[in-house]
């Protein structure tokens, strides 16, 4: 897959995931919790492509999340980008081919993104119940997001990783 084509597919999928998360995702809401599809994209690209692609994915997806929500512009961007960097650094030191490792990374990244988001919101308004927000929203959302990891990673693996392995097997560098 050429670099331009890979980047075009990547951008399309990031925008698609962010759009689905801000529109269609309400149909699978359970107990006032929804999965964070944008964060799953961030984790996937942190594993496959490293910090830069993951952070850019987080920035683009975070803008969509901030615009669609009632949040101050930048909260989701910040939490996604910080988590993208940390997840990519951690993933570089792990064997991430096993599905359990991917689910664990997605769960941890979701917890971290939620804690960063609630922390920034608490700094701006100390009257909010930060601990309650983490227990009542972040943890259940992290579990729900982790459940969606195989559903998102399998097709993404097919599109990005498989093509890269094929190119490397044929002597080309992607």
DSSP type of residue 72: P
Average pLDDT over residues 14-19: 85
Closest to 20 measured CA to CA, from 12, 30, 10: 12
Average pLDDT over residues 15-22: 83
Query: Is-above-0.85 flag for pTM?
Result: no
pLDDT tier, 166 (very low <50, low <70, confident <90, very high otherwise): very low
Contact assessment for residue 61 and residue 43, using Cβ atoms and an 8 Å cutoff: no
Domains defined along the chain, listed by start: 3-161 (1.10.1760.20)
- For all residues of the chain together, what is the average pLDDT? 82
Tens digit of pLDDT for each residue in 60-90? 988 888 888 877 788 888 999 999 999 999 8
Contact assessment for residue 54 and residue 87, using Cβ atoms and an 8 Å cutoff: yes
Contact assessment for residue 18 and residue 37, using Cβ atoms and an 8 Å cutoff: yes
Indicate the SS3 state at residue 92: coil
Above 90 in pLDDT, residue 170? Answer: no
Average pLDDT over residues 136-155: 86
Provide the pLDDT for residue 67.
Answer: 85
Provide the pLDDT for residue 24.
Answer: 77
Non-local (6+) Cβ contacts of 159 within 8 A are: 9, 13
Provide the pLDDT for residue 174.
Answer: 46
DSSP type of residue 30: B
């Amino acid at each position: 897959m050429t670099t331009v084509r890979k980047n075009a597919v990547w951008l399309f999928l990031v925008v698609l995931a962010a759009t689905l998360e801000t529109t269609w995702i309400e149909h699978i809401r359970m107990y006032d919790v929804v999965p964070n599809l944008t964060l799953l994209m961030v984790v996937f690209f942190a594993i496959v492509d490293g910090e830069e692609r993951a952070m850019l994915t987080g920035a683009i997806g975070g803008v969509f999340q901030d615009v669609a929500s009632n949040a101050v512009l930048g909260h989701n961007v910040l939490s996604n980008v910080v988590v993208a960097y940390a997840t990519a650094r951690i993933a570089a030191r792990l064997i991430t081919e096993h599905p359990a490792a991917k689910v664990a990374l997605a769960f941890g990244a979701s917890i971290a993104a939620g804690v960063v988001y609630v922390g920034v919101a608490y700094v701006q308004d100390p009257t909010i119940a930060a601990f309650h927000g983490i227990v009542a929203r972040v943890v259940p959302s992290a579990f729900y997001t982790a459940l969606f990891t195989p559903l998102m990673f399998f097709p993404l693996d097919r599109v990005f990783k498989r093509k890269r392995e094929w190119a490397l097997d044929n002597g080309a560098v992607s």
